[in-house]
Amino acid sequence: MATYSKKYPHAFFERGSWYHRTKCLKEDYSVSYGKVGGFRSDSEAEAAYKEHIEVFNRQMKAKFIKQGENTTFRDYLIYWFQSIFSERVETTTRYIAAYVIYTFLLPSITEDIKLRLVNTEYLNDVLESASKFCNSAGNKSRELLYIAFKDAVIDRMIPNNPVPETKPYARKKPKIRVLNREQIRILLAAAKNRNWFLEILFGLYLGLRKGEILGLKFSDFNMEERTVHIQRQMAADITIEENGMKIVDYTIVERDPKTEKSNRVLRVPTIILVELEKRRQLVEAQKARLEDAYIDEGYISCQKNGRQHGLASLNGELTRICELNLLPHITVHGLRHMFATILLERGVSIAKISGMLGHSSVHTTFEFYLEVMDADEKMLEFMNKEFVPDSK
């Protein structure tokens, strides 16, 4: 499993040496992705990456950014995505953006119009065409165009950003599925004797994201203080090619939490501490049985040999439990929503809930849970009285 450097964003350790990703401009102007290794340190790999990407960006600029005012809208979008936007976002974000650019936007640009001549009316036509692909296409296309044109203004390629005046497209509201008291009782009773009971408790009683659950280690828990430090997540590291839309390699890597505020300390309900000790004993028994064949990286949620579970494994288990017990289908994120809903029903403030969830801002929490603030269902018995964020 690749391990990313905490200090250098493009360096990762794999198979005995340090690596960095590579990008190659092909004859058809698409980009293929790869990796190169053999570096002795993360700093050496990062320095090599910077040299590599400078050469790549010069090639991209020579191909797509024409002299004077002749750069076309289409060429600018390709250049912007590959050389600017892709360099400042995570792989999964880049993959989604690539799909929007190459599937929705570029096919909607039917004229070879110069970037400097693009106005609000023209963009409205492009967005109208893009919006027909799916429900979220219009909104996501407009979001990306806003960022692209903002960067063009910063680079003095155009005098102003025409996107804010374009027709807005409604953002699809997040659907929140919350089980009632009886359904939660059935869910927990069914999960009690299965292998994923503790992970389900992490989602329902701590509100953790899927990657945060899979990234938990025994060392993150302070048994005396009855707290847990959320300080990492497991995430997909995707190697993509062919305009950023084809996945050619997929691995699970350890990363820092999603946002700065996602690094947090939470108090832990008693039920989790009890199940945590059971899991610790199970893991120790597996270590003793497998000896050197056990891969000990300290993770709580792991396979019998210590290796990480796949990112879809917990959702798969929830699906099976729901189907076997005739429950509405829920996901790990659904458990997180239920956690927040229970707290709302207890009268816990939005600001406090936002901190517990690790949201980047209170606005994010408000947007998701506005519609359930007045819910009548009460599920207080599922929460421990000490179930509040640590004050540290």
What is the chain's mean pLDDT, rounded?
Answer: 85
Q: In this structure, is the dihedral angle defined by the CA atoms of residues 136, 139, 143 and 144, taken in order, positive or negative?
A: positive
**Beta-carbon neighbour count of residue 107 at 10 Å?**
12
Q: What is the pLDDT of residue 69?
A: 72
Three-state DSSP class for residue 326: coil
What angle do helix axes 197-206 and 313-324 make, rounded to 10 degrees?
A: 90
Residue 239 banded pLDDT, cuts 50, 70, 90: low
Q: Backbone phi, then psi, for 113, in 5-degree steps?
A: -85, 145
pTM: 0.65
pLDDT (tens digit per residue) in 117-175: 999 999 999 999 999 988 889 999 999 999 999 999 999 999 999 999 999 998 766 56
pLDDT-derived band at 382, boundaries 50, 70, 90 = very low
Bridge partners (DSSP) listed for residue 235: 253
CB 360 within 8 A of CB 339: no
Q: Which residues contact 96 (CB under 8 A, 6 or more apart)?
A: 140
Angstrom distance (rounded) from CA 354 to CA 365: 6
> Rounded CA gap, 215 and 254, in Å?
7
Q: Which residues contact 21 (CB under 8 A, 6 or more apart)?
A: 10, 33, 34, 35, 49, 239
Question: pLDDT-based confidence at 24, cuts 50/70/90?
Answer: confident
Question: For the segment 280-318, what is each residue's pLDDT rounded down to a tens digit?
Answer: 999 999 999 999 999 999 999 999 999 889 889 999 999
Element (H, E) at 19: strand 17-25
Question: Any idea which residue has 């506005």 for tokens?
Answer: 370
Among 15-19, 178-182, 226-230, 263-267, the range scoring the smallest mean pLDDT is 178-182
pLDDT band at 247 (very low <50, low <70, confident <90, very high): low
Indicate the Cα dihedral angle 367, 371, 373, 379, nearest 10°.
-110
Residue 332 burial class via C-beta count within 10 angstroms: exposed 0-12, middle 13-18, buried 19 and up = buried
